[in-house]
């Protein structure tokens, strides 16, 4: 089975069996009908994915890999905070009339900072160090910027990535303050695994480990029956990743440069409510 499926099943069973409900609290998220969206959660889940062995893609249901990679490029490559630059509707609920989500996500990636060796934004700083100082222990990004939170339409969930090179392998730690397991887990893992592959390729490295740290891993109350049914399925093997090896500039990657030719997955036709 796909290792991503194995961890997803283990995480969900742990939350369902041993998690903590927040039903005694007046929670912020709401369903479309206005009812509070309560969760059952676990604190401090840490998952490790060896990208040199397989690409971590869920097979329990289909992950839209093209849309997932398009979104990570929207943040890290386009450095945009406007949904008009995104080829899906997933951010529309948080956008204003102009399409902006405020000073969030891509906006923070584009802010330049002064270093002793020049001006860089967060993405270009990491790419520069991977090529010129790969043994650095200072390669990280952080988009949870407190002075700008009041101008963000949604606080960042996946907010920090620390990159580290061991030998010729590029590893990364993704820190996430909050994760909706049904909606976001498979999506985020696909995105950041793809990002590590891209950064490794343009830096003359190979993809190593992705370590995913989730502070608040939760399942929403209305998602529990869906999760219970989902994790009883038998996963398929992990798919093979084909990436366009001719791309040597991170800013030239597109979703078309990724393919998963033997991706098998279970059909999933149920509409998922998203709490906002």
Q: Which CATH number does the domain housing residue 141 bear?
A: 3.30.572.10
Q: In the annotation, is 157 catalytic?
A: yes
CB 39 within 8 A of CB 81: no
Which residues span the domain enclosing 14? Answer: 3-63+121-145+156-259
Indicate the annotated binding residues: 64, 137-138, 177-180, 188, 218-220, 275
pLDDT recorded at residue 99 = 96
pLDDT recorded at residue 271 = 87
As for how many domains the chain has, the answer is 1
Measured CA to CA, the distance from residue 256 to residue 264 in angstroms comes to: 19
Q: Give a yes or no: residue 75 inside a domain.
A: no
The answer to whether the Cα torsion of 126, 244, 48, 183 is positive or negative is: positive
Instruction: Flag whether the pTM goes above 0.75.
Output: yes
Q: Give a yes or no: residue 97 inside a domain.
A: no
pLDDT recorded at residue 2 = 94
pLDDT recorded at residue 257 = 98
Q: Give a yes or no: residue 87 inside a domain.
A: no
pLDDT recorded at residue 75 = 98
Q: Give a yes or no: residue 255 inside a domain.
A: yes
pLDDT recorded at residue 276 = 86
pLDDT recorded at residue 93 = 86
CA 123 to the chain's CA centroid: 16
Indicate the annotated binding residues for dUMP: 137-138, 177-180, 188, 218-220
Among residues 157, 206, 231, 274, the one annotated as catalytic is 157
Q: Give a yes or no: residue 84 inside a domain.
A: no
Strand 206-220 relative to strand 169-180: parallel, antiparallel, unpaired? parallel
The answer to whether the Cα torsion of 63, 69, 177, 239 is positive or negative is: positive
Of 242, 266, 271, 264, nearest to 69 by C-alpha is 242
Q: Give a yes or no: residue 273 inside a domain.
A: no
Q: Give a yes or no: residue 107 inside a domain.
A: no
pLDDT means per 10 residues, the chain with 276 residues, are 96 98 96 97 98 98 97 98 94 93 98 95 98 97 98 97 98 98 98 98 98 98 98 97 98 98 94 89
Q: Give a yes or no: residue 187 inside a domain.
A: yes
């Amino acid at each position: 089975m796909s290792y991503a499926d194995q961890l997803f099943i283990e995480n969900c069973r742990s939350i369902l069996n041993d998690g903590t409900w927040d039903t005694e609290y007046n929670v912020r998220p709401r369903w479309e009908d206005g009812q509070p969206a309560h969760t059952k959660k676990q604190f401090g889940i840490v998952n490790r994915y060896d990208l040199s062995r397989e690409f971590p893609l869920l097979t329990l249901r289909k992950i839209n890999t093209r849309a997932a990679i398009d979104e990570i490029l929207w943040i890290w490559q386009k450095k945009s905070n406007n949904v008009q630059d995104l080829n899906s509707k997933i951010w529309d609920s948080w956008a204003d009339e102009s399409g902006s989500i405020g000073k969030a996500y891509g906006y923070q990636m584009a802010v330049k900072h002064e270093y002793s060796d020049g001006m860089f934004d967060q993405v270009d700083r990491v790419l520069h160090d991977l090529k010129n100082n790969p043994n650095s222990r200072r390669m990280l990004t952080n988009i949870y910027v407190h002075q700008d939170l009041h101008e963000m339409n949604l606080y960042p969930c996946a907010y920090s990535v620390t990159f580290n090179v061991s030998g010729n392998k590029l590893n990364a730690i993704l820190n996430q303050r909050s994760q909706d397991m049904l909606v976001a887990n498979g999506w985020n893992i696909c995105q950041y695994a793809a990002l590590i592959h891209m950064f490794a390729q343009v830096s003359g490295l190979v993809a190593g480990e992705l370590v995913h740290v989730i502070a608040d891993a939760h399942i929403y109350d209305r998602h529990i029956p869906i999760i219970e049914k989902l994790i009883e399925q038998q996963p398929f093997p992990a798919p093979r990743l084909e990436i366009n090896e001719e791309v040597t500039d991170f800013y030239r990657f597109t979703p078309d440069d990724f393919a998963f030719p033997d991706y098998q997955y279970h059909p999933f036709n149920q509409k998922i409510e998203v709490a906002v």
